[in-house]
């Protein structure tokens, strides 16, 4: 009887468990029910694959409602949500279809939006929606990536496969190891020299600062004189334009010279007289005819030309080079470009002219002193300052320099202001370190610039450094590159360019 009672109890327990499991299964299948106080909102999606009715709706990871209905309207999926009455959604809200895990259930995620937009009411539409990535599309992209990786690995296998590829790989690793050892030796052997250069540059910058501090008035006077010269040149160009415009309109003496008939007749007579003189010279008449046609004159002319050739041969020793490079300023994102023409009359001397496209432009300060008084009292004076900045202004540099072994000292006008510079060359001129100081102003610190160039090829180099590092507001790192051509390169390019043939 006891055994029978135990079997009955176990049977009853199993039966009750099956009933509970069946009930839970039906509840999961049905999902949650929509209560009467929930309010509906509508969303339109392009694709709702995997999204089911009664799927949860979440805001910030918290369940706030469920999917009430899913239908098709005008080729798009129309999804009706049922949200709790305490959940407020603004008009700029975004609805997205999310997945729990890689193969999990789909649900709708909503961002409630910002308070500056109005609240959505019942049955209104959430305008912004995102269907999310479809699993099939994702797997297709993964398969495409796998195919690309397979092609790359096959290419690498073809290159490195076999005894020859293995031997080449070993040789490459050996060369890299030897190169790193040689590079370490080179750095260690030149470490003392680099420290010495840095110390010299520091001393030189201090000397430049002392010089600029004691000569600010003279430098400012030179800059003012240069500004006056530019204004006078501008006025001359304006007058020239006015003269040409008058001539084009038939006004002024130049227009009269071109259009007057009497002037034209006089010009014809002059040409006729020149023809007569040329005929007499050809026949050997007159002093000029004898001078040209006699042998003695030809010999004297040959001697003169020989002396002229000797003079011109000296001028052939002049070396000319053109440098074009750009610098990217990392702090501002601007690009500064340079075009430089350098003429070397000798090995250790040079003159250089540069045109610079500066994105910062030029800033001109104007000070005005004004006086006023109140109620016929004492006069008071105050100062008005006005700054005018010209964006993308062109600047120029005109310098003279001399080389002492590996050092080059230069100076003159740098970026439209007085300045000096120092260069140091390393490793047969393959590396150049430079320092410049210019734009010595009474209020702002001098413009200091330092960096280096690495000449990778004969005509290509990279540059990097720090620009205006004395000014905390305008300082910026820069990187860039450039092209360098000598007169021999230019002759080669011009000689290699085909000329058009005549018909």
Structure tokens at 370: 């004004």
Q: Which two tokens stand for residue 201?
A: 């540059």
Q: How many Cα neighbours within 13 Å face the side chain of 87?
A: 25
- Tokens representing 108? 């709708």
323: nearest Cα among 341, 306, 308: 341
Q: Return the top range by mean pLDDT from 191-195, 313-317, 364-368, 377-381.
A: 191-195
Q: What is the pLDDT of residue 256?
A: 62
φ and ψ at residue 281, rounded to 5 degrees: -65, -40
- Report helix, strand or coil for 260: coil
In this structure, what token pair is assigned to residue 339? Answer: 């075009």
At the second CATH level, the architecture of 317-496 is: Beta Barrel (2.40)
87 φ, ψ to 5°?
-95, 125
Is residue 358 predicted with pLDDT exceeding 50? yes
Confidence category of residue 503, pLDDT binned at 50, 70, 90: very low
Dist CA 376 CA 144 (whole Å): 89
The mean per-residue pLDDT over the stretch 105-114 comes to 88
Query: Helices (H), strands (E): how many in the chain?
Result: 9, 20
As a whole number of angstroms, the distance between CA 499 and CA 434 comes to 41
Residue 49 has pLDDT above 90, yes or no: no
Residue 292 has what pLDDT? 65
Cβ–Cβ < 8 Å for 481, 463: yes
Task: List strands edge to edge, sheet with 62-73.
Answer: 125-126, 39-45, 76-83, 62-73, 56-59, 106-111, 94-99, 128-130
- Residue 416 tokens read as 């439209």
**Structure-model confidence comparison of residues 342 and 218, the more confident one:** 342
Q: Which residues pair with 340 in a beta bridge?
A: 323, 354
Section 136-147 average pLDDT: 76
Count Cβ atoms below 10 Å from residue 212 Cβ, excluding itself.
Answer: 20
Largest Cα–Cα distance in the chain? 163
The whole-chain average pLDDT of the chain stands at 79
Q: Which DSSP helix (H) or strand (E) runs through 19? A: helix 2-30
Distance CA 121, CA 105 (A): 28
Tokens of 424: 């140091």
Phi, psi for 215 (deg, rounded to 5): -125, 25
Model confidence band, residue 497 (pLDDT cutoffs 50, 70, 90): low
The three-class DSSP label of residue 210 is helix
pLDDT in tens, 414-469: 988 889 999 999 988 889 999 999 888 767 788 899 999 999 877 899 999 999 88
> CB of 65 within 8 A of CB of 39?
no
Cα–Cα distance, 144 to 188 (Å, whole number): 49
Q: Using the 8-state DSSP alphabet, how is residue 392 labeled? A: T
Return the pLDDT at 255.
62
**What confidence category does residue 277 fall into, taking pLDDT thresholds of 50, 70 and 90?**
confident
* Integer CA distances (angstroms), 60 to 96, 110, 146, 223, in order: 12, 8, 35, 64
Predicted confidence at residue 199, as pLDDT, reads 85
- pLDDT over 60 (residue 320): yes
One DSSP character per residue, 68-126 reads: EEEEEETTEEEEEEEE-TT---BTT-EEEEEESSSS--EEEEEE---TTSPBP-TT-EE
For the cut 60, the answer to whether the pLDDT of residue 350 exceeds it is yes
Position 357 pLDDT exceeds 60? yes
Task: State the Cα–Cα distance between residues 208 and 414, nearest whole angstrom.
Answer: 14
pLDDT tens digits, one per residue of 171-199: 888 888 888 888 888 888 787 777 888 88
For the chain, domain boundaries: 31-136, 260-316, 317-496
Reduce the secondary structure of 230-247 to three states and give it as a string: HHHHHHHHHHHHHHHHHH
The residue that leads in pLDDT, 205 or 4, is 205
**Stated length of the chain:** 503
């Amino acid at each position: 009887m006891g055994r029978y009672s135990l079997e009955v109890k176990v049977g009853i327990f199993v039966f009750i468990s099956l009933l509970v499991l069946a009930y839970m299964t039906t509840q999961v299948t049905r999902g949650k029910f929509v209560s009467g106080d929930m309010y509906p909102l509508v969303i339109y999606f392009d694709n709702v694959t995997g999204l089911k009715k009664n799927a949860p709706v979440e805001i910030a990871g918290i369940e706030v409602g469920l999917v009430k209905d899913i239908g098709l309207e005008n080729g798009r999926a129309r999804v009706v949500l049922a949200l709790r009455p305490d959940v407020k959604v603004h008009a700029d809200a975004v609805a997205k279809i999310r997945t729990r895990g890689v193969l999990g259930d789909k649900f709708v995620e909503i961002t409630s939006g910002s308070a500056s937009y109005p609240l959505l009411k019942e049955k209104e539409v959430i305008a912004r929606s995102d269907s999310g990535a479809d699993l099939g599309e994702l797997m297709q992209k993964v398969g495409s990536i796998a195919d690309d990786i397979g092609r790359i690995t096959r290419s690498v296998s073809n290159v490195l496969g076999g005894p020859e590829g293995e031997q080449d790989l070993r040789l490459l690793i050996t060369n890299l190891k030897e190169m790193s050892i040689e590079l370490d030796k080179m750095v260690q052997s030149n470490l003392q020299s680099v420290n010495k250069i840095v110390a010299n540059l520091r001393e030189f910058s201090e000397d430049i600062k002392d010089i600029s501090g004691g000569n600010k008035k003279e430098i400012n006077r030179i800059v003012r004189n240069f500004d006056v010269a530019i204004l006078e040149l501008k006025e001359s160009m304006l007058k020239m334009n006015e003269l040409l415009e008058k001539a084009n309109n038939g006004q002024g003496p130049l227009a009269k010279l071109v259009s007057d008939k009497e002037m034209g007749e006089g010009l014809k007579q002059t040409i006729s007289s020149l023809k007569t003189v040329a005929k007499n010279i050809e026949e050997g008449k007159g002093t000029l005819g004898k001078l040209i046609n006699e042998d003695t004159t030809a010999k004297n002319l040959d001697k003169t030309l020989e002396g002229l050739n000797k003079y011109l041969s000296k001028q052939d020793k002049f070396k000319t080079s053109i440098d074009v490079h750009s610098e990217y300023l990392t702090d501002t994102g601007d690009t500064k470009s340079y075009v430089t023409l350098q003429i070397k009359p000798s090995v250790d001397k040079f003159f250089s002219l540069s045109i610079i496209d500066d994105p910062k432009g030029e800033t001109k300060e104007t000070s005005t002193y004004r006086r006023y008084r109140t109620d016929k009292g004492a006069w008071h004076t105050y100062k008005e300052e006005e700054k005018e900045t010209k964006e993308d202004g062109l600047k120029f540099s005109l310098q003279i320099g001399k080389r002492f072994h590996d050092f080059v000292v230069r100076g003159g006008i740098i970026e439209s202001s007085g300045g000096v510079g120092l260069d140091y060359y390393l490793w047969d001129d393959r590396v150049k370190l430079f320092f410049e100081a210019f734009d010595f102003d009474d209020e702002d610190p001098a413009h200091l610039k330092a960096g280096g160039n690495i000449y990778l090829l004969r005509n290509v180099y990279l540059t990097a450094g720090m620009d205006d590092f004395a000014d905390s507001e305008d300082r910026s790192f820069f990187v860039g590159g450039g092209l360098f051509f000598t007169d021999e390169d230019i002759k080669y390019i011009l000689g290699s360019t085909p000329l058009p043939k005549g018909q």
